[in-house]
Amino acid sequence: MDAPTPVDWLRTRADFPTLGRKIYLNTCSLGALSTQVRAAVNRHLDLWEEYGAAAWYTIWLAECAALRAATERLFNAAPGSVALAPSVGVALSTIGSALDYTQRPKIITTALDFPTIPYQWLARPDVEVVMLPSDDGISVPLERYAAAIDERTALVATSHVFFASGTIQPAREIAALAHAKGALCLIDGYQAAGQIPVDVAADDVDFYLSGGLKWLLGGTGIVELYVRPELVAQLEPTVTGWFAHERQFAFDVASFSYAPDARRFEIGTPALAAVYAAHAGIQLILEHGVAAIRQRELQLVADLVGRLREIDCALTMVDDPQQHAGIVMIRTASHAQIVSELAAQNIIVDHRPGHVRVSPFFYNTEEEHAILVAQMLRYR
């Protein structure tokens, strides 16, 4: 097989007008807007203007199907295994409503997961949430999962990449530990898909979530939920709607039967502008190739970390670059002030408690890092 043509990363910058005006190092909060995504949203608006509701059957439902299929490609997932939802919280509600907690009342999550995961189950009086601690704020040792998962565990729900440390978790090992005790495994890949390879089949996870917002460059309003095909028929979400019906357009008010594929996890009419944006974002990622993006990301993170260490910034991160994604956490008590002062200089980063968070993506450059780090000198 021919080697893929190397991507000219500098040229990709022309697709992102923001980069001409700002140093944008905040993809883990919100991916930069590309001309392709803007054009896709405009295409939706043009279709709306031209056809009105006539666009539904032939064009818009096909676009939803194309987004599910593109996601399946990205996740290495079987056809029919991806559903669309408006947010991770909604997708979790649907899954949460399909689990049986009578024999297995425990949900295991960790102190480093995004709060929308524990909140989903902390709000349920019938569920016992076990939150695995992290000693260093960077990672959670596998032994903690092994010790906590038991025959009373319904689900292990945790992140592929932790949002406030950038650590990549071993999804395959966590899924294997869950399965060994008959529990299910949900991986929140919102901070992973697009910047590191995802293979739901090889990792043997039961649920995998991602969305447009960050590393898939599609903006707000759409997340994608993978459900392992063998599991789909066993789960009947009670948080539901007409998009989950086997015969959606029969308009049969008297009876409800679930769609045979992952669509049974959908609820209602999706935000179509978001569907167009999410699809264009994933297409861009697939075009560049996640393996190539990851290689570039490793170079960029090494460059940024090297420059920050040179000026003695304290970083919260694992030592092994292979276990670390494109999120760099700089420890400081003045995080909010620094982020707003940098924004005034047209340098866009973010903060999380006790840290400035910097997240380079393939469209960033070493020169941008140098400018950021020169500013950071003021705050040492």
Give the residues lining the site for ligand PLP (CB under 6 A).
87-89, 114, 116, 159, 163, 188, 190-191, 223
Instruction: For ligand PLP, give the closer residue by CB, 60 or 190.
Output: 190
Q: Which is nearer to ligand PLP, 9 or 114 (CB)?
A: 114
Q: At what angle do helices 290-310 and 272-288 cross, to 10 degrees?
A: 80
CB of 85 to ligand PLP, least distance (A): 8
Shortest distance, position 306 Cβ to ligand PLP, whole Å: 26
With residues binned 3-state (H G I as helix, E B as strand, rest as coil), the percentages for the chain, rounded to 5, are 45, 15, 40
Q: 276: which residues sit within 8 A by CB, 6+ positions away?
A: 40, 41, 43, 44, 63
DSSP H helical ranges for 228-344: 229-232, 272-288, 290-310, 335-344
Residue 274 or 376 with smaller CB distance to ligand PLP:
274
- 196 Cβ contact list (under 8 Å, min separation 6): 160, 161, 168, 290, 294, 297, 325
CB of 34 to ligand PLP, least distance (A): 19
Task: Read off the amino acid at residue 46.
Answer: D
Which phi and psi angles does 281 have, rounded to 5°? -65, -50
Between 188 and 224, whose beta carbon lies closer to ligand PLP? 188
Minimum CB–partner distance for residue 212 and ligand PLP (Å) = 10
9-16's contacts with Cβ under 8 Å and 24+ in sequence apart are 9/296, 9/362, 9/363, 9/365, 10/365, 12/288, 12/362, 12/363, 13/363, 13/365, 15/284, 15/363, 16/363
Cα–Cα dist 325/318, whole Å: 10
* Residue 97, SS3 per DSSP: helix
Whole-angstrom distance, CA of residue 313 vs CA of residue 164: 17
Min separation Cβ 367 and ligand PLP, Å = 28
CB of 30 to ligand PLP, least distance (A): 9
Closer CB to ligand PLP, 94 or 159, in the complex: 159
181, with CB counted inside 10 A (0-12, 13-18, 19+), is middle
Nearest to ligand PLP of 188, 261 (CB atom): 188
Q: How far is the CB of 134 from ligand PLP (least distance, A)?
A: 15
Shorter beta-carbon distance to ligand PLP: residue 245 or 360 = 360
Q: How far is the CB of 339 from ligand PLP (least distance, A)?
A: 17
Closer residue to ligand PLP, CB minimum distance, 175 or 187: 187
